[in-house]
Structure 1
Amino acid sequence: MNILIMSNSVLPVSKYGGTERILWWLGQELNKSGHKITYLAPAGTQCNFGRVIIYKPDVSLEKQIPADIDILHLFEKPQEPLSKPYIVMIQGNRNDFDDFDINTIFVSENHAARYQSSAFVYNGLQLNDYGKPSFTNQRTHLHFMAKAAWRIKNVKGAIDIARKTNNKLAVLGGYRLNIKMGFRFTPYPSIRFYGMIGGEEKNHLLNTSKGLLFPVLWHEPFGIALIESLYLGCPVFGTPYGSLPELITNEVGFLSDKKSELIKQVADIGRFSNKKCSEYVADNFTIQHTTKKYLKYYEMVLNKQSINAFPPKLKEATPKFLPFYE
């Protein structure tokens, strides 16, 4: 097949970029499987395994699709009729009651169910990008990995858990002083902030971490940080919201909406096997798993079948912040 993948960000990403990583890895794996890849993406995008077309926001999408394309992989609902078959990959949450496109695919069972759909594909990692996990490294700290400025990610809760278990905490995705969303300053020397990092620096911090603290206050659609951390041997301690209960088993982590219970489990972190955490991801959450499932959905729309019986729509509104008890 000739597959066009659309991105609203320059590819490949240099640091984190969850959705962008999935689009890039997906293109790589599809190409390895014998498919031809075209990226429709902003200026600056480069690709050594496929064609790149620079997206022009002032030109209709239909006019930018080459005639040889068989199917489109989009990241948002098209605003115009398209002559080519397509699917829409949705990675985030939406709180309005507008219809999604009928060919929308979500990223977890919970994510889909909240919009009255059953169509989902789990995200998966390109394991080669992470090197070989080490199970003999000295593990010196816990880590938090998300946009710390977003209150729904709850870096404050992670800091409390780390301090009350006498652990150092590496915050990947935030800064000690944040004034963009209200004045916030974290004075504790045991909490170290690394900003947005990627590559070997991020892999090293995860490979020497005891575990991931992920006490989110919203329904997490998937959370690539979860499987990245697990693959590098880190059990996950988080809240039971969104996709977490279907991703985090008792063997690789612990979930609770009570801070006191998470503190108790982190204090007993030695009961988790770094090796089993890593094997769990290798067995279930690789880009090869992801690609095979998207190919099945591609076949559906190529055969003129809709992904959903009706356009998905939010089932019910949820609070801005889900509870996190002491």
Structure 2
Amino acid sequence: MHILIASKSVIPAIKYGGIERVIWYLGKELIRLGHRVTYLVNTGSRCPFTEIIIFDPNKTLASQIPDGIDFVHISYFENDPLEEVNVPYISSVQVNFYDDRKLDVNTVFVSRNHANRFGSDVFVYNGMEWEDYGTVQLDNQRSYFHFLADAAWSVKNVRGAIKTIKKTTHDSLHVLGGKRLNFNKGFRLTLSTRAKFHGMVGGGHKHSLIQGSKGLVFPVIWHEPFGIAITESLYYGCPVFGTPYGSLSELIPEDVGFLSASSSELALAIENVEDYSRKRCYEYARDQFSSAVMTKNYLAFYERVLNGEQLNQNQPTLVNTSEDRKLPWS
């Protein structure tokens, strides 16, 4: 099958870029399974393992689908008339919306919670090609906890992560994805000596920092659609200490982490981090959130569409349009 993966992203991801990594690994796995893959992506993209076409923002997606394509995997194109696409397709959505827009009937979300909030039950968990993540060291000495997200984004709640760590006896936090002084998306100056900021990091440097961590502190205050930071951290043997919002309740069973909207309760759990098995965290992420599992699940939805099925009975739309954009935290 010749599959076109269409995204307004630039591939590959250099440091951060969850969508970029997802479609990169999806394409590699589809090729490994014997399919032909072409990417339709933004200028600046490159790919050593298959063909790319540069997306023209002045044209519709439908007009840029080349001849001979059997299926299109669309990474959400906002305001693009998908009804003009005359090839079987799905539209995968990785983000939150807070308005009453109607999504395509063949929309696929990235977690059960994400789908349910839009009146759907159609989802595929994101998966990484773990071979790219190097050797996992589960018996090494670890001396701090980490936060992994764009710290300038208030819903990721780096302030809450630092507040939580300061309630522990002596633990420290390494912030991967932010600076101590931030003017982006609002002023923030963090004075605590128990927080170390590494800025935006990626690749091997990011991986080595996670491998030195006892656990991920992830107190998001929105409904996280998925959270690649969660699965990456688990893969390196880090239990997750977060809030019970969005995908977290389904991604983090009690044997690999602890969830609470209370910084005091999270701090207490962090003090007992040795109760969690690094090996269990690693094996759980390896087995459940690989690119092979993700691709298999997407292929099942491709097959349903190719057989003439509509994935969602109605166009998905946000069930509760008055949903709080920032959720309770103390």
Distance in 1 (alpha carbons) for counterparts of 2:136 and 2:239 = 13
The RMSD of aligned alpha carbons is 1.0
Residue matched to 1:121: 124
| SS of match in other structure, 1:133 | coil
Residue 140 of structure 1 pairs with residue 143 of structure 2? yes
Matches within 5 A, 1:1-326: 1-77=1-77, 78-80=80-82, 81-165=84-168, 166-316=170-320, 317-325=322-330
Distance in 2 (alpha carbons) for counterparts of 1:144 and 1:160 = 12
Asked if 2 retains the 8 angstrom alpha-carbon contact of 1:252 and 1:273, the reply is yes
Q: Using a 3 Å threshold, how does the CA distance of structure 1 residues 190 and 260 change in structure 2: closer, same or farther?
A: closer
Asked if 2 retains the 8 angstrom alpha-carbon contact of 1:97 and 1:313, the reply is yes
1:75 positional shift: 1.4
Identity of aligned residues (%): 50
1:190 positional shift: 2.5
Distance in 1 (alpha carbons) for counterparts of 2:226 and 2:267 = 23
Asked if 2 retains the 8 angstrom alpha-carbon contact of 1:37 and 1:49, the reply is no
Distance in 2 (alpha carbons) for counterparts of 1:272 and 1:121 = 27
Asked if 1 retains the 8 angstrom alpha-carbon contact of 2:60 and 2:81, the reply is no
Asked if 2 retains the 8 angstrom alpha-carbon contact of 1:73 and 1:86, the reply is yes
Asked if 2 retains the 8 angstrom alpha-carbon contact of 1:28 and 1:49, the reply is yes
Equivalent AA in structure 2 for residue 149 of structure 1: A
TM-score with structure 2 setting the length: 0.96
Distance in 2 (alpha carbons) for counterparts of 1:192 and 1:71 = 46
Asked if 2 retains the 8 angstrom alpha-carbon contact of 1:88 and 1:103, the reply is yes
Asked if 1 retains the 8 angstrom alpha-carbon contact of 2:127 and 2:292, the reply is yes
Unaligned residue ranges in structure 1 (runs of 5+): none
Residues 296-323 of structure 1, C-alpha deviations (whole Å, 9 max, x = no match): 1111111121111110010003112110
Equivalent AA in structure 2 for residue 324 of structure 1: W
| SS of match in other structure, 2:60 | coil
TM-score with structure 1 setting the length: 0.98
Residues 184-224 of structure 1, C-alpha deviations (whole Å, 9 max, x = no match): 11122321111221111000011110000000101111100
Number of corresponding residues: 325
| SS of match in other structure, 1:40 | strand
1:17 positional shift: 0.5
Distance in 1 (alpha carbons) for counterparts of 2:214 and 2:207 = 13
Distance in 2 (alpha carbons) for counterparts of 1:143 and 1:82 = 43
1:181 positional shift: 2.1
